[in-house]
Structure 1
Amino acid sequence: MQKNRRKERKLGANLYTIGFAIYEVPKEMHGTKHHLQKDFFLYNASKARSKTYINMREISERFRLPPNEYVIIPSTYEPHQEGEFILRVFSEKRSLSEEAENMIEAERPSKKKKGKRPSAKARESSEEENQFRNIFRQIAGDDMEINAEELRNVLNNVVKKHKDLKTEGFELESCRSMIALMDTDGSGKINFDEFRHLWDKIKSWQKIFKRYDTDHSGTINSYEMRNAVNDAGFRLNNQLYDIITMRYADKNMNIDFDSFICCFVRLDAMFRAFHAFDKDGDGIIKLNVLEWLQLTMYA
């Protein structure tokens, strides 16, 4: 059932064309709450679906399915239409249902293996690092640290070389945020190691952005952002995806490259900060007011 559409019809809005599909959950995912990823729907057919998509306030069907775990996915017929809905399930026998939610987690970087001869890619990376170290030394000066304005110059000079990436570069405020989130010693600047870590992250996130910016518009929409966040190794729930959209998307629900990178830098830094405070690994941290304000205000 569509919510609030009658009220919005008074303002000229029409009912969405709606329907739903039912998919069988793979046995290896039984008992979990993880979302099924995009690839699942490319290679698995639905077990049942509404007879048609129709522009009515509600649609209902009756099915007979063997006992198992299933996912019900309501949707609009047209892509990128967003609205609230109510899903009701009636069963002749007792049945459990709940909203699919991901565990909130981030993939931890794996440790590099020692004793192997460096590959050509590793040697190329080493040469790139030497180039960056020289550029960094020229900009940073004797203290070998750079501030937000200097970081902006370095990043924007590099981004300009990527002609296939349509972006106006990074705003100063974005670079201030990056400095704050990467600054481990509280100096207001970042040293070469902190900069190198930031640059490695930006390179990997840039590849993800380009993968979803298929029309080369310099933006991705909020629906693609969910998959991009997942590709980057972050597992979030619906509430957090909504927060990301509210915080980083424009009025058309699109996210540009600058906002995309800022979002990932913050996610990465906040997960690292949480793990640093979570000494016993139980997923719960305790902060006093000073620690809380230092963590949130500087970030």
Structure 2
Amino acid sequence: MSLWPPFLCKWKLGQKETMGSSSQLPKQDYETLQKKCLRVGCLFEDTSFPATLSSIGRGPLLQKLPTGLQWKRPWELHSSPQFYPAKAKRLDLCQGLVGDCWLLAALQALTLHQDILSRVVPLNQSFTEKYAGIFQFWFWRFGKWIPVVIDDRLPVNEAGQLVFVSSTYKNLFWGALLEKAYAKLSGSYEDLQRGQVSDALLDFTGGVTVTIKLAEAPGNLWEILTRATFSRTLIGCQTYLGERVLENGLVDGHAYTLIGIRKVTCKHGPEYLVKLRNPWGKVEWKGDWSDSSSTWELLSPKEKIVLLKKDDDGEFWMTFQDFKVHFKLLVICRLTPGLLSQQVGQKWSYTSQEGRWGKGTTAGGPRKSPHDTFWKNPQFLLSVWKPQEGRMFLMPCSVLVSLLQKPRHRHRNRKPHLAIGFYLFRMSKLYDDQRRLPREFFLENEPLSLPEAFLTEKEVSRELWLEPGTYLIVPCTSETHQEAEFVLRVFSRKHIFYEIGSNSCVVFPKEIVDQTEGQDEFFTKLFEKYPEINAVQLQKILNHMTWSNLGNAQPIFSRDACQGILALLDLNESGTVCIQEFRDLWKQLMLYQDVFHKQDSNRSGCLNWAQLRAAMRGAGIVLSDNICQLMLVRYGGPNFQMDFVSFVLLMLRVEKMEDVFQNLTQDGKGIYLQKAEWLMMTLYS
């Protein structure tokens, strides 16, 4: 039964809520608050983001507000409000008084991927089922998905019209509520006045954003866009600075969403078109290929019918050349890191490390002179490995590095971003990885990569092509003594990544750890003793390892388990593994230990179905719920719990089968197997 008729009382919650340390948001449990409201028959009121001017802000936005501003719930504005449409085909939102076109442009891109949208906007919320005036949204913030809880009171004018984001369908309210949640996350509605499309895309996905200046665009930009529109990417763009609508219909200083591209055949030859959308839901391009342009007559009647839609809905086509002339920036949010490097079907691993620039300690600033303080910056060791498949790779490894700076104030616009960047050095010899490298290292070594310019952006990313080996990444600000927290992310096929001087480095077997100072020495000493490792020797090594993250639940590897591992890693069918194969196994075991430990919250030494699914996602493997359940039945125990050894075997099998599929597929969708190949694959499982 619906609980939202007006006779319900109002109940304020949140006076005793505590503030979170990192995001400074109140710690609010959505389900607990919802159940409490339903139990007493009251509608939620969020005192941490109240229905007052304090939530709107204290700047110029206040001057735009209509007289008689009120706060109303959706059921007070429409007789049958809906949260989200059952069959959404495109963005139905229109910008209000807040200058957050950048946010709406990112939202438009989000609606093109319903699975990603449902991660941000839980679509099971409604104004009927368990309605208590409370809603929840999720945003990616520096390595974690965090929930933001709000009530559904929205600012309206005297006529009952929403003053900020609204829908073209007056009974839909998901956009207005999401904008309110993002305003709460950002500090106020005022803090949404200025922003970049890349910021919102990052907060909605956790992907890596790449910004391309169109005046300096690479020659293969059309190919990049082609791959982007047919892969897991979200794309936005921005015009040149200004505050007016131009005669050609474009808006200066405005963000748009790129929602499609098309190569068409005209009478004079091929034409390359891009399709854009104005988040205002109106005001469109008036040049060639606009809704009223005569250039559509150059197409066949069929193609014209498919592409041309004469509606004042903010969507329009224009030539690729006009796009590059009239737009300043193109922002691609990559959910598949291999997009720009043309790596098709490649599996990437991902590692994230948090750090801080502290005044007088680690805020060393840029590399300027031999006597500067650059060496004091945080230092991160990166070991890049060749993929384990038995193929020759003539090209270096592609590594994507992303540096994110955290906000320095509760309100995102109170303190602007610092100018940030990072350097990359090659490590030619072993150093003590428990201490930061001294000034002398930077006197003797020139960086392989350095910032072309320090950028005042939330995220700075760069794709690097590196030979297998060990490297040093040094993130820094453009000036010394500038304080901020940051997150450094690395994506590649195979790597190990940790901060020098931290406790996050890899753990070696007990029998060797006292004799070795570094990983290369460990492998050298190990393979002096065992040039080729068989199942018996592998069992001995694994059962003597110190699994530091697993605590008292130290795993015991059986002979059968070790034989299963060898069957997956042994590329030449010798019954043993060589040093390169063991290096790859070592890195994978460290990753599996980490994700297993994070999900084994009760330290039982086993994972249930939900924990297994989360652990696999943490390792970069996403399977359907049904497949994940079958894996638990196949590799788990009789109580449907999976221990660490079984988890290792499962993960190695899944990764191997993924590699086999990518090697055999021609189109990324299916494969044709001969009988011998089919038997090989079934025996792997």
* TM norm structure 1: 0.63
* Pair 1:249–1:119, CA change in 2 (3 A): same
2:626 match: 239
Amino acid of the residue matched to residue 293 of structure 1?
L
Structure possessing the higher radius of gyration over alpha carbons: 2
* Pair 1:128–1:285, CA change in 2 (3 A): same
1:111 match: 398
156-165 or 249-258: which moved more? Answer: 156-165
* Pair 1:40–1:178, CA change in 2 (3 A): farther
1:63-82 to structure 2, matched below 5 A, reads: 66=172
- Higher relative contact order (Cα pairs below 8 Å, separated by 6+ residues): 1
145-154 or 202-211: which moved more? Answer: 145-154
* Pair 1:47–1:209, CA change in 2 (3 A): same
Larger strand proportion, structure 1 or 2? Answer: 2
SS of equivalent to 2:645: helix
Q: Percent identity over the alignment?
A: 23
Residue 228 of structure 1 deviates from its aligned partner by 1.0
1:165–1:210 contact (8 Å) kept in structure 2? no
1:179–1:189 contact (8 Å) kept in structure 2? yes
* Pair 1:221–1:47, CA change in 2 (3 A): same
Residue 146 of structure 1 deviates from its aligned partner by 1.1
Amino acid of the residue matched to residue 128 of structure 1?
Q
Alignment partners' CA distance in 1, 2:570 and 2:535: 11
* Pair 1:209–1:161, CA change in 2 (3 A): closer
2:608–2:640 contact (8 Å) kept in structure 1? yes
Residue 173 of structure 1 deviates from its aligned partner by 1.4
Amino acid of the residue matched to residue 285 of structure 1?
I
2:246 match: none
Deviation per residue, 1:165-195 (Å, 9 max, x gap): 5133212211111111111112221111011
Amino acid of the residue matched to residue 559 of structure 2?
L
Alignment partners' CA distance in 2, 1:156 and 1:39: 42
1:183-194 to structure 2, matched below 5 A, reads: 183-194=570-581
Q: Return the match for 1:131 from 501, 511, 522.
A: 522
* Pair 1:254–1:33, CA change in 2 (3 A): farther
113-122 or 234-243: which moved more? Answer: 113-122
Alignment partners' CA distance in 2, 1:214 and 1:108: 26
Alignment partners' CA distance in 1, 2:118 and 2:643: 23
Alignment partners' CA distance in 2, 1:157 and 1:37: 45
1:31-180 to structure 2, matched below 5 A, reads: 31-32=112-113, 34=115, 46-48=125-127, 50-51=129-130, 66=172, 107-109=347-349, 111-112=398-399, 116-117=425-426, 118-119=471-472, 127-138=518-529, 140=530, 144-159=531-546, 164=551, 166-180=553-567
Residue 27 of structure 1 deviates from its aligned partner by 5.3
1:220 match: 607
2:677 match: 291
SS of equivalent to 1:111: strand
Residue 150 of structure 1 deviates from its aligned partner by 1.1
SS of equivalent to 1:197: helix
Gaps of 5+ in 2: 1-81, 86-106, 132-169, 176-344, 350-396, 401-422, 427-470, 474-497, 507-516
* Pair 1:243–1:206, CA change in 2 (3 A): same
* Pair 1:136–1:203, CA change in 2 (3 A): same
Alignment partners' CA distance in 1, 2:593 and 2:128: 38
Alignment partners' CA distance in 1, 2:580 and 2:561: 20
> RMSD over aligned Cα, in angstroms?
3.7
Larger helix proportion, structure 1 or 2? Answer: 1
Alignment partners' CA distance in 2, 1:204 and 1:159: 14
* Pair 1:251–1:27, CA change in 2 (3 A): farther
Alignment partners' CA distance in 1, 2:84 and 2:348: 31
160-169 or 146-155: which moved more? Answer: 160-169
* Pair 1:29–1:246, CA change in 2 (3 A): farther
Aligned length: 225
2:600–2:606 contact (8 Å) kept in structure 1? yes
* Pair 1:28–1:171, CA change in 2 (3 A): farther
Alignment partners' CA distance in 2, 1:49 and 1:261: 45
207-216 or 31-40: which moved more? Answer: 31-40
2:550–2:593 contact (8 Å) kept in structure 1? no
1:106–1:234 contact (8 Å) kept in structure 2? no
Alignment partners' CA distance in 1, 2:554 and 2:120: 29
Amino acid of the residue matched to residue 119 of structure 1?
L
Gaps of 5+ in 1: 1-21, 53-63, 70-104
SS of equivalent to 1:34: helix
Alignment partners' CA distance in 1, 2:346 and 2:631: 16
2:587 match: 200
Alignment partners' CA distance in 1, 2:118 and 2:589: 24
Residue 159 of structure 1 deviates from its aligned partner by 3.8
Residue 248 of structure 1 deviates from its aligned partner by 2.0
Deviation per residue, 1:220-249 (Å, 9 max, x gap): 211111111111111212221121121122
Are 1:277 and 2:517 an aligned pair?
A: no
2:111–2:117 contact (8 Å) kept in structure 1? no
Amino acid of the residue matched to residue 189 of structure 1?
T
